[in-house]
């Protein structure tokens, strides 16, 4: 191992030693295990009566719960990593050693990342249990867990990066939470507001129904009268890119869907991805051709939606990685010594 990586390992080890000695970290792990376990038990009892293969539902729920927990806890673990040491006067003792600013920042990012992965580790028994219940697809496991690990690393990097760029620990933690909230909740709000604004008036054909009654019963027939009327529709296809940056959508959209006998996704991952894919399809006027004379399920309907739209998870993940890289670069630039300029009232150490 080169000297550069040995020094990086020292920084990671020191950071983890501080966190492992903290009783609060173990308390948080216990609380997460109890909360997630309780939700999994409730879900198992609720679904066992009407669904045979419930392993996929429990596994996808556990993945999203871990993502929710880490998005709430990781900014607190990483949001004061650098400026907190600066306020405590211990950052200078590190900066006068052979540790470079890059090693310092990356070491803190890796430590926060590893500490946050502990919340995923305590949920592994629930994931194993979901596999034993049946209905869990291998591709769902192989893709969702690595993306979840990357997303946890992104939040850790953003928190540590902002703690280096922003001088006040409280402010950097709050901004870290705001960034995470923007990616998870803000994208949904942006999509909803954009959908309200992105409206369009279309001319829809006027449809009438004729009913004939005979010995065989009552039959109905759809007839277009030849006239049209204005109809205001929501153009979700113009604002769906907001959803591409949502971390939950990224995980769901990355997993190939599995369809039931009615042609619709049969797990939570596929259902979320199906909703996002449907938002890409512009709404067209309803004609008589849209009303089928038969109500038999169309097993290809869900597949047609996925085949006629484009995946977006890689674009959202690339955006998250770019934000994390920018935050880390900013922290490296502000912690580099000797510093050429300093903000008024601030100090390098």
pTM of the model: 0.86
Sign of CA dihedral 250, 255, 261, 266: negative
What would the pLDDT profile of 38-84 be if each residue is shown by its tens digit? Answer: 888 888 887 776 666 677 888 888 899 999 999 998 998 888 888 88
Sign of CA dihedral 252, 258, 264, 267: negative
Spatial contact of 106 and 328, defined as CB atoms under 8 Å apart:
yes
Quote the DSSP letter at residue 296.
Answer: -
pLDDT confidence tier of residue 29, bands split at 50, 70 and 90? confident
CB-count exposure of residue 204 (10 Å: 0-12, 13-18, 19+): middle
What would the pLDDT profile of 135-150 be if each residue is shown by its tens digit? Answer: 778 888 889 999 999 9
Determine the Cα–Cα distance for residues 30 and 173; give it in Å rounded to an integer. 23
pLDDT confidence tier of residue 197, bands split at 50, 70 and 90? confident
Please give the share of the chain, as a percent, with pLDDT higher than 90. Answer: 29
Query: What does the pLDDT read at residue 336?
Result: 79
Query: What does the pLDDT read at residue 292?
Result: 58
Q: Work out the average pLDDT over 314-329.
A: 94
Flag whether pLDDT at 186 surpasses 90.
Answer: yes
Flag whether pLDDT at 193 surpasses 70.
Answer: yes
Spatial contact of 276 and 312, defined as CB atoms under 8 Å apart:
yes
What would the pLDDT profile of 198-223 be if each residue is shown by its tens digit? Answer: 888 888 888 877 777 665 666 777 78
Spatial contact of 126 and 36, defined as CB atoms under 8 Å apart:
yes
Flag whether pLDDT at 165 surpasses 70.
Answer: yes
Terminal-to-terminal C-alpha distance of the chain: 29
Query: What does the pLDDT read at residue 227?
Result: 83
Q: Work out the average pLDDT over 258-269.
A: 80
Flag whether pLDDT at 347 surpasses 60.
Answer: no
Q: Work out the average pLDDT over 245-272.
A: 87
pLDDT confidence tier of residue 295, bands split at 50, 70 and 90? very low
pLDDT confidence tier of residue 156, bands split at 50, 70 and 90? very high
Q: How many CB atoms lie within 10 A of CB 163?
A: 33
The DSSP bridge partners found for residue 209 are 222
Query: What does the pLDDT read at residue 175?
Result: 94
Query: What does the pLDDT read at residue 251?
Result: 94
Flag whether pLDDT at 192 surpasses 50.
Answer: yes
Flag whether pLDDT at 296 surpasses 60.
Answer: no
């Amino acid at each position: 191992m080169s000297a550069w990586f040995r020094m990086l390992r020292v920084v990671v080890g020191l950071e983890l030693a501080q966190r492992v000695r903290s009783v609060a970290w173990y308390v948080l792990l216990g609380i997460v295990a109890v909360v997630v376990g309780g939700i999994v038990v409730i879900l198992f009892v609720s679904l066992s009566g009407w669904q045979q293969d419930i392993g996929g539902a429990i596994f996808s729920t556990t993945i999203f719960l871990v993502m929710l927990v880490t998005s709430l806890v990781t900014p607190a673990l990483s949001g004061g990593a650098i400026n907190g040491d600066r306020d405590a006067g211990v950052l200078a003792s590190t900066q006068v050693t052979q540790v470079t600013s890059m090693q310092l920042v990356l070491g803190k990012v890796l430590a926060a990342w590893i500490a946050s992965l502990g919340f995923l580790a305590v949920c592994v028994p629930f994931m194993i249990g979901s596999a034993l219940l049946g209905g869990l697809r291998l591709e769902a496991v192989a893709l969702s867990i690595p993306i979840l690990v990357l997303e946890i690393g992104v939040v850790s990097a953003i928190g540590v990066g902002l703690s280096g760029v922003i001088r006040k620990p409280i402010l950097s933690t709050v901004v870290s939470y705001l960034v995470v909230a923007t990616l998870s909740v803000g994208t949904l709000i942006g999509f909803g507001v954009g959908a309200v604004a992105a409206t369009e008036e279309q001319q829809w054909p006027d449809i009438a129904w004729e009913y004939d009654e005979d010995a065989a019963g009552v039959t109905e027939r759809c007839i277009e009268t030849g006239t049209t009327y204005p109809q205001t529709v929501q153009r979700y296809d113009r604002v769906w890119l907001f959803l591409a940056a949502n971390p939950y959508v990224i995980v769901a959209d990355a997993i190939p869907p599995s369809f039931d006998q009615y042609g619709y996704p049969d797990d939570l991952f596929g259902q979320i991805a199906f909703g996002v894919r449907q938002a890409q399809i512009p709404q067209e006027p309803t004609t008589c051709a849209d009303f089928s004379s038969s109500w038999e399920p169309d097993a290809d309907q869900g597949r047609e939606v996925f085949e006629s739209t484009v995946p977006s998870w890689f674009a959202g993940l690339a955006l998250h990685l770019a934000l994390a890289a920018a935050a880390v670069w900013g922290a490296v630039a502000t912690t580099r010594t000797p510093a050429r300029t300093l903000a008024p009232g601030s100090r390098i150490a």
